[in-house]
Structure 1
Amino acid sequence: MPFIDQFTELAPVNLLVNIIDVLLVWFVLYKVITLIKGTKAVQLLKGIFVIIIVQMLTDVFGLDTLFWIMEEVTNWAFLAIIIIFQPELRRALEQLGRGKLFARTILQEAEEQNRLIEAMKKSIIYMAKRRIGALISIERETGLNEYIETGIPMNSITTSELLINIFIPNTPLHDGAVIMQKNQIAAAACYLPLSESPFISKELGTRHRAALGISEVTDAITIIVSEETGAISLTSNGDLHRDLSIEEFETRLRKAWFGPEPELVNSSIWTWRGKKNG
């Protein structure tokens, strides 16, 4: 329409449209990055960047044969990306179809957080009563893929029954740590770095040293159930909280994992409150 065309040619309108355009592009890129974060797609993207850099260098230094090879590789890159990233693209399309790719309500997030906390609490209570040793590390901002690769991949939805079965003595997966990513058990029987701090109490065993070690090099939260006493401990940011009651454990875990706790007021309004550190 001529009138609209004349209106959009105005400088302030063009500026606003360009700003919105850039913001939308950054938002889509952010969602794509969060979608592939913690997957093998991140490593594959690094490989693609290496190929692009090599192609630029071959052009600069006049390496014609290598440049031709890199050019052929990049010409087929689009098809290769579709094939390589097929699981991630499928998951993105499924989420888009369910309307969950770009938005998730506070209610949905709170329900999932409560489900994870309840699953963790139920499994810890069971194992603590029976003195079943356990070591569970929860990924936060710092990726734990380096340690996940040392264990047995699982990629399973977190449930209390699965956690309990993993740590039952004399089973193939009980020795080592479980590492969780978001709402999934990424791997079991993983090796964590042991803390080398000279100030650790001599009475602490390998599980506690591993929990402290991973908390010193990452921001992961790690839960320990003592095999000797059944005591519950938790590490975060290099600090060890020992002999926690189940109420203290739940409070510390929720605060460290999710931050302020959502609270439903009048069945329709959500507010946020911070629980006191137990």
Structure 2
Amino acid sequence: MPTDLHLLLQADPASPLTDYLQRLMRSGSGLWGVVVELLLIAIVTYAALRFLKGTRGWRVLKSFGLIIVTSFLVVRLVAERLHLERIIFLYPYFFNGVVLTTLIAFQPEIRRGFIRLGDARWFRSFAKRSDPIIEPLVTAVAKLSQKKIGALIAVQRHVGLDALCETGVRIDADVRSELLETIFWPGTLLHDMGVIIQHGRIAAAACQFPIAESGELALALGSRHRAALGLSHESDALIIVVSEETGTISVAQSGVFKRHLTPATLRALLEEGFIAQPSSAADSKDADDESDDWKPDRGTDGRPVH
């Protein structure tokens, strides 16, 4: 063990750092043990920050981080030095309360994380196949896009959308392009809000989707795009949006938008089990050329598109 480490242990035998170093010396893991521990901590911290960045939880995390750092400094550097026994006694309860509050505050992010974990490639149990709903769905979206008729369609995957179906009008009909076009035709009673497709059937129309927070996407995006993004945070559904001013086709999934899609790229998304995984490098390049993330639609007057 280096001489400097022995000097540190002799200088302050009661500090938490000294206690950790003494345990490290007894373990015999040496410098490599420290490197491995720090590397694991860095990986976990980076993964958590990357997952939370840009979400509501990111702002909450900064507040909790300030509280935890402040409390640690007060207790470890002040209370223990001055032997403030009551503060030292209450600190574990305070810390447990912060952890519990964090779990409650991060409930949407934790739920989303489990959804993404279950959606990982090594957990998928379904094979790539041609679903009978794909062609009528793509045909309807293409026609709505051509006519610049706004649309919002959620295709359920593993996470159920029954609660959202109750906010609209139950239909329970086959997925037919003519029916979808009729539902979204301007002036009809069901054209506003969203359609939900469950188990290969149109389950409900005029459903209210959760709206994304204003800070999560460009202000120029309209209410349909916010509803699509909001639902993509709450479930693993694939949500299709058609702009009523530009006819742009967009898809939201797992909190990410794919914009300016063609019917061909939309079909590819659906055929890949509702996850964009191009089958070849050429397909990947085509998809990148045909779609952009987070490019807001604007009308001729510059106003946000709905």
2:216 aligns with one of 185, 189, 199: 199
Is this contact kept in 1: 2:129–2:271, CA < 8 A? no
Gaps of 5+ in 1: 1-105, 262-272
Asked if 1:180 corresponds to 2:197, the answer is yes
Aligned to 1:224, the other structure's residue is in SS state: strand
TM-score, with normalisation over the residues of structure 1? 0.53
* 1:253 shift after superposition: 2.6
Corresponding residue for residue 135 of structure 2: 118
Asked if 1:137 corresponds to 2:177, the answer is no
Is this contact kept in 2: 1:221–1:256, CA < 8 A? no
Quote the Cα distance in structure 2 between the aligned partners of 1:173 and 1:199: 28
TM-score, with normalisation over the residues of structure 2? 0.48
Give the 3 Å change call, closer, same or farther, for CA 190–232 of structure 1 in structure 2.
same
Corresponding residue for residue 155 of structure 1: 172
Corresponding residue for residue 190 of structure 1: 207
Asked if 1:221 corresponds to 2:238, the answer is yes
Give every structure 1 segment of 4 or more consecutive aligned residues whose post-TM-superposition deviation is greater than 6 Å.
Answer: 258-261
Is this contact kept in 2: 1:139–1:220, CA < 8 A? yes
Is this contact kept in 2: 1:234–1:240, CA < 8 A? yes
Is this contact kept in 1: 2:269–2:275, CA < 8 A? no
Superposed CA deviations along residues 81-100 of structure 1, whole A, max 9, x for unmatched, are xxxxxxxxxxxxxxxxxxxx
Quote the Cα distance in structure 2 between the aligned partners of 1:198 and 1:151: 27
* 1:197 shift after superposition: 5.0
Which AA in structure 2 matches 1:233? S
Quote the Cα distance in structure 2 between the aligned partners of 1:150 and 1:118: 27
Corresponding residue for residue 168 of structure 1: 185
Could you say what the CA RMSD is over the residues aligned between the two structures, in angstroms? 2.2
Corresponding residue for residue 237 of structure 1: 254
Is this contact kept in 2: 1:259–1:274, CA < 8 A? no
Structural mapping, 1:70-109, within 5 Å: none
Quote the Cα distance in structure 2 between the aligned partners of 1:260 and 1:182: 22
Quote the Cα distance in structure 1 between the aligned partners of 2:249 and 2:277: 22
Asked if 1:212 corresponds to 2:212, the answer is no
* 1:110 shift after superposition: 4.3
Is this contact kept in 2: 1:236–1:256, CA < 8 A? no
* 1:199 shift after superposition: 3.5
Which AA in structure 1 matches 2:233? E
Corresponding residue for residue 254 of structure 1: 271
Which AA in structure 2 matches 1:205? G
Give the 3 Å change call, closer, same or farther, for CA 155–258 of structure 1 in structure 2.
farther
Question: Which structure exhibits the higher relative contact order, with contacts defined as CA atoms closer than 8 Å and separated by 6 or more residues?
Answer: 2
Give the total of aligned pairs. 158
Aligned to 2:272, the other structure's residue is in SS state: helix
Gaps of 5+ in 2: 1-126, 288-306
Identity %: 39
Aligned to 1:257, the other structure's residue is in SS state: coil
Give the 3 Å change call, closer, same or farther, for CA 205–260 of structure 1 in structure 2.
closer
Aligned to 2:274, the other structure's residue is in SS state: helix
